[in-house]
Structure 1
Amino acid sequence: MNSEVLRFSTHPSVSSGTRRGFLSRILAGGALASSWAAGWPDAGDASAGESSLRVNRGRDLFRVRMQIDVKGNVNLAKDPMIPDSPKQVLPITGKISLDYEERYLRPEGATAESAIIVAERHYHEATGTSTLNRTTQATQLRDSLDSILARREQLPETIYSGDDYLTHEEVELLRTPVASCAIDSLVPTKTLRVGEKIEVASMTLASVFNLTAIAASDVQMELVSADAADAKLQMRGKIEGSVAGVPTQLHVLGKLTLDSTLQTVTWAAFAVHETREIGNAEPGFDVTATIRMIRKPLAKPERLPLIAAKVDFDQSPPRDRLLMNIGSDYVGVNALMDRRWRIMKDAPGEAILRMIENDRSIAQLNLRPLPRLAEGEQWTIEAFELDVKRKLGDRFGEILQSQTDLTESGLRMLRVVATGQVQGVPIQWIMMHFSDDEQHRVVATLTMDGESVPKLDGADVQLAASLQLANPRGNVASGAGEHQSDEKSGQTGEKLGDTGSTRLESIASRPSDESSGEVSSASDIPVQR
């Protein structure tokens, strides 16, 4: 490995930031752009003539190093179910370091000019640290994950592993704000004069910055200099787009070095300022960051398998590989869930998850630990039915289904499906009582409106099949066979909201004297020189 090729050049950087696992597209323009020092590694004198830019799109194997530094604010709604809920602003900083091999996989019949829709990666390093209002968290990709696939038919790209199920934190760690496999597409392959500018296509910008859609853009690419060794380009402008249905706005300043011999972008740096609205599954944010990237073409894999992964390009990513390992130490559960499920609260006594698709809430899942029963005691399905009716009260309509079963992991399950109404809206509840031989007990309540029932898509079956019980943190004490009832467990999503992830919630509740040092906007962030 040529350490010189993969060494980051000294470059001005805007400071760092990420929330619990989030680092999305982030670029800086306007006042930031004017203060971001211009300069490339080994910059040469600019040529005054015309230059013909060429990219070798036949290359399909690279070693990439990327460093992301971010600083800004996370914006939270105190109650995410109320659009005009008061907002909370928390300062955040962070850093992500990635070092990986990347192989491009192409469907049969694809040409070198075709967009890269699948990348196979092996990560030599993938680490991240973030500090949210003085609380620091570290994330690291497990060493056991040898092969990672990134599918890019739809954006943001879908990341999964054939070795094991990823966690949300690992997926967010690997979902970079700039896609290395799309970076060459930024180069205008035509003859340009130094100082000449050309508009960058929206489709290209969406691919590079992992955006689902772009509504408007004025980003332009400029040839700054060119000689026999390389060409240097600069881009800047504004992008208005969306990510999974959530509006976002980016101001972009980027610098690229195109190696004239390799005909490949070997160095890139971006300054990004992104403002994203608060979504149903994610906080909003106003962050500024730098992304620095070095790419080196490889003649053969170093750690990637010699034989490329098999991908069925005619099919969507395999559903069984897109499950995520979701757990709650407070409730004492672990399960494999659809990626649309996001943890909104994880605290002693209850965990709340929501199924979010295109920023629309489909269903809510409440998980609650119960007191242990006396030795030899078990709940009956009849007792569970009565408890369901009592909990729903005047919202209860009828019981559609009631059964007792044994799950794949050996848990005893009582399952009741009930319907009813809340404020005239038809609602369906799926309530499941799980218990094991050690008297651990958990109740899972799925709540959705009538129109969303088909969209649940077997999530209740998947939950029951994979759920495992453990001693919850704080250990629920033994008690009578009664639920410790909470009327909220049967309410609709209109009233089951929480302030967001437990980590954000706990930090937001700190005394104000612990929140000193907040910045109110990205313009308050100094540029480090």
Structure 2
Amino acid sequence: MSVRPLNFLVATVGFACSLLPAAVAPAIELGPDDALGVRQSVQLELELGGDLVFEPSDPKQPTKTPVHVEAKLGYDEVRQPGDTVQSIRYYTEASATTKVGNNTRNLQLTDEHRLMVAKLQGGTRLLCGVAGPLEQEEFDLVDVVGDSLVLEWLLPARDVEKGDSWQADMATLQVLTGLDSIEQCEVSNVLSDSNPQYARCQLAGSVQGTIHGAAVTLELDGIYLVNLAQGQLTHFNLAIRQKRQVGPATPGLDVVTKIRIRRTPAASDSPLTDERMATAEKALETPQQLVRTTNPRMGFAAVHDTQWHVTSRAGGNMALRRVNVDGMLTHANITKLAPRTLEADTALGEFRADVLRSLGSSPTNVAADEQWINPQGCRVMSVTVVGKVNDQPVEWHCYQVAPSVENESLHRLALTFTVEQEKVESLGTADRDLVDGIELTADTVEQAIVNPLRK
């Protein structure tokens, strides 16, 4: 496959010394070297431009909305030993400006979440806040393509000469691009030039896969610089043309993303101190990639994993969908309810009757009901109903979340998860886990949010 680097890639990755003539260039070993325990400084710039694509609900309405994102990330990182690739990071900079249509927003990482751990697990990269779950927007800000954790995986495990090429494997590109799965991968690397200190390589090709249940095609065009003494990539520039179909929980994309990464030794006064390292090492033992979704208008916050996607917010209502590699597992509606005194002996029975009444004439049967106190101290009632919709077996998992007796003046929440019966096993306890992560708060006014950073 031919390699055709974009002009901006060549212009931003230059050699500091003259190249050897091709006739005398020997075969060289590119690496890689894990650089365990070495503090490195990573600077990443990202620019995305193109269109969000939506399913047309009205033939007269446009199905595309312009989107533009500029982001800058900077962090000091130390690779850690273990049975997988993992590191500790301290973010010195994380900011982005996003524009969707005529709406512009500025995003920043809060100080309390600058210390994170990154770890490869099950073919994906986990990114976890050491001080606790990141806000959803913060996670979207730092969860970018081109992660430094696997850059060296692009390098071949053999000596190469100028003009030699090698294929990039699916595992590397899945982590590098952030895809959930890859069905087809045709990406090649080539050693384009070298001298005794550095080697310049180029990559190009296409990848087909899925992300958030949507089919996606990527065209990659990149160039990177390898420090031969260190066996590490010091510069990595990549352009990605992405065409993503509209997914079950996310809009489609027709965009070009440009990423520039530069790695240097960290300064002697690195903010990634030994004390912070010791704190973060505990988080590496049992990493959990959790985020926090906050809805001030509805008066609640929920800690959950990243397979949940908020699809709409309107007044006292909110909708979510849970998506895995195969598509949508469940649709959830959350509704704000007025405060009410709940009698312990009768509340569950009344809730069961309310659930059956709300389902109307659909043939239903109560499969289970229970109540408990969630870890945030909220009272939870649960009713599971089985039935059919258009002859399709369906389950409704219905919950009511109420404040503790001491805070009965707070509002309540009603949550209904609709799931096809054949997907109940795949859903597992994800709906209950979400409910257990809910905390009720005093409600405040909130503006509607459109977040293009969600990958």
Alignment TM-score > 0.5, same fold: yes
Q: 1:133 offset after TM fit, Å?
A: 0.6
Pick the aligned partner of 1:230 from 198, 214, 225. Answer: 198
Distance apart, 1:352 and its partner CA: 0.8
Contact 2:9 2:222 in 1 (8 A): no
Distance 1:178 1:301, change over 3 A: farther
Identity %: 22
SS at match of 2:144: coil
Task: Go from structure 1 to structure 2 and tell me whether the alpha carbon gap of 1:221 and 1:394 turns closer, same or farther (over 3 Å shift).
Answer: same
For the Cα contact (< 8 Å) 1:66–1:292, is it kept in 2?
Answer: yes
CA-to-aligned-CA distance 1:191-228 (integer Å, 9 cap, x gap): 44434444434444334333444433443323333223
Q: How does 1:366-377 map to 2 (within 5 A)?
A: 366-372=333-339
1:272 aligns with 2:240: yes
| RMSD (CA atoms) | 3.3
Once the two structures are TM-superposed, the CA of residue 325 in structure 1 deviates from its matched residue by: 1.4
Deviations 1:409-452 (A, max 9, x none): 44444433322221222222232333341152322222222233
Find the counterpart in structure 1 of residue 53 from structure 2: 75
- Report Cα offsets for 1:168-190 as digits up to 9, x if no partner: 22222222211212222323455
In 2, Cα distance between equivalents of 1:332 and 1:65: 37
- Between 1:387-396 and 1:220-229, the stretch displaced more is 220-229
Who is 2:433 aligned against?
462
The answer (yes or no) to whether the contact 2:317–2:333 under 8 Å persists in 1 is yes
1:154 aligns with 2:122: yes
Aligned residues of 1:92 and 1:131 also touching (Cα < 8 A):
yes
Match of 2:303 in 1: 336
Where in structure 2 are there 5+ consecutive unaligned residues?
Answer: none
Name the aligned partner's letter for residue 236 of structure 2.
Answer: A
**Residue of structure 2 in register with 1:302 after alignment:** 270
In structure 1, runs of 5+ residues without a counterpart are: 1-28, 109-115, 476-500, 506-529
Structure 1 residues 275 and 389 mapped into 2: Cα distance closer, same or farther (>3 Å)? same
Distance 1:154 1:417 in 2: 32
1:366 CA displacement:
1.2
Aligned match of 1:112? none
1:91-170 correspondence to structure 2 within 5 Å: 91-107=66-82, 117-170=85-138
Higher deviation after alignment, 153-162 or 67-76: 153-162
Q: 1:307-326 maps to which residues of 2 (within 5 A)?
A: 307=277, 309-310=280-281, 318=287, 321-326=288-293
How many residue pairs are counted as aligned between the two chains?
Answer: 432
Scaled by the length of structure 1, the TM-score of the pair is 0.72
Partner-residue secondary structure (3-state), 1:107: coil
Mapped contact 1:331–1:367 kept (Cα < 8 A): no
One-letter amino acid of the counterpart of residue 63, structure 1: S
Q: Does the C-alpha gap of structure 1 residues 167 and 325 become closer, same or farther in structure 2, counting only changes over 3 Å?
A: same
Question: In the alignment, what sits opposite 1:365?
Answer: 332
- How far did 1:287 drift? 1.1
Q: What is the CA-CA distance between 1:244 and the residue it aligns to?
A: 5.3
Shift of 1:391: 1.2
**Which of 1, 6, 10 in structure 2 is aligned with 1:38?**
10
Q: Quick one: distance in 2 between partners of 1:267 and 1:54?
A: 14
**Aligned counterpart for 1:53 among listed residues 29, 33, 43:** 29
> Which of 168, 172, 175 in structure 1 is aligned with 2:143?
175
Matched, 1:283 2:256: no
The question of whether the paired residues in 1 share the 8 Å contact of 2:212 and 2:323 is answered with no
Residue 454 to residue 119, structure 1, CA distance change in 2 (3 Å): same
Query: Displacement of 1:97 after TM fit?
Result: 0.8
What secondary structure sits across from 1:194 in the alignment?
A: coil
Q: Which amino acid aligns with 1:173?
A: L
Aligned residues of 1:53 and 1:187 also touching (Cα < 8 A): no
- With over 3 angstroms needed to count, the CA separation of the structure-2 counterparts of 1:410 and 1:216, relative to structure 1, is closer
- Secondary structure of 1:303's partner? coil
Counterpart of 2:420 in structure 1 is 449
The answer (yes or no) to whether the contact 2:92–2:114 under 8 Å persists in 1 is no
Q: 1:470 to 1:293 in 2, by over 3 A?
A: same
Distance in 2 (CA, whole Å) between partners of 1:457 and 1:226 is 53
User: Per-residue displacement from partner, 1:443-496 (whole Å, max 9, x unpaired)?
Assistant: 222222223333443344434434222344569xxxxxxxxxxxxxxxxxxxxx
Structure-2 separation of matches of 1:326 and 1:351: 11
In the superposition, the TM-score normalised over structure 2's length comes to 0.83
In 2, the alpha carbon distance for the partners of 1:94 and 1:127 equals: 11
Displacement after TM superposition at 1:131 (Å) = 0.6
Kept in 1: contact 2:86–2:149 (CA 8 A): no
Q: Separation in 2 of the partners of 1:405 and 1:200?
A: 50
Q: Please tell me whether the aligned partners of residues 330 and 346 of structure 1 are also in contact (alpha carbons under 8 angstroms).
A: no
Q: Give 1:219's aligned residue.
A: 187
Q: Is this contact kept in 2: 1:50–1:191, CA < 8 A?
A: no
